Amino acid sequence: METCRVCDLPVTNTQVVVSRGNPQAKLMLIGEAPGAFEDEIGKPFVGRSGKVLDRLLESVGLDPQTDVYITNVVKCRPPNNRRPTGNEIASSLPWLQQQIELVDPYVIALAGSTAVEAILAKKGGITRLRGQWQDWQGRLLMPLLHPAYLLRNPSKAEGAPIALTRGDLMEVCSRLNQIKQNSLVSEMDLARDRQP
């Protein structure tokens, strides 16, 4: 990725921001693009939005370091933290597709409208799609509100964005547990069938 020059972003950033977390995790979370702090540190979601994300993950029993692989659609910081352009997103998709294939998650959480548009090619607002399971290339996807949006809407009241996102993450946890349980049962059945 460091040698990629398909778009102009590598000229404006400090470094390529690939991922953080566990590359063997069964949950992958995809955001938009690195911000200034992420560009400086070299990891996604480590600024204020990242702290919100980590707290939400932990609140539903997910460890951000061991249970999740976190990345962005675009790996280089857009100037002034602007939203990535369509060309920048299109240029970054082969890298993201390769990450998805290598990590091979059961579930992908899409944080924000840029991630939803990049992966699902659906426009029309994250508030309409959040919390609804999507199917993409045989994988389950859950659109989530972006943590930056939660920072701008900090109410913890029932029905507020933070509570909705926590509920969506609880649904993700439940589905992950169900898939793991089904996989374990399938492995046990396979082992039993192999016995003489």
- Every domain of the chain and the residues it spans: 9-194
Alpha helices by DSSP H, 8-160: 9-12, 36-41, 48-59, 86-103, 113-120, 126-129, 147-152
Report the pLDDT value the prediction gives residue 122, as an integer from 0 to 100. Answer: 87
Strands of the sheet with 134-136, listed across from one edge: 20-21, 69-72, 27-31, 107-111, 139-144, 134-136
- The lowest-confidence range among 81-95, 141-155, 174-188 is 174-188
Buried b (16+ CB within 10 A) or exposed e, 39-61: bbbebbbbbebbebbbebbeebe
Neighbours of 167 (CB within 10 A): 15
How far, in Å, CA of 141 to CA of 186, rounded?
Answer: 23
pLDDT digits (tens, 9 = 90+) for 53-106: 999 999 999 999 999 999 999 998 898 889 999 999 999 999 999 999 999 999
Q: Which CATH superfamily is domain 9-194 in?
A: Uracil-DNA glycosylase-like domain (3.40.470.10)
Residue 177 parent element (H or E): helix 161-194
pLDDT band for position 171 (cuts 50, 70, 90): very high
Residue carrying structure tokens 């693009």: 33
| pTM of this prediction exceeds 0.85 | yes
DSSP assignment letter at 23: T
Q: What is the pLDDT of residue 15?
A: 86
Say which residues have a Cβ less than 8 Å from residue 176's Cβ, sequence separation at least 6: 26, 27, 106, 107
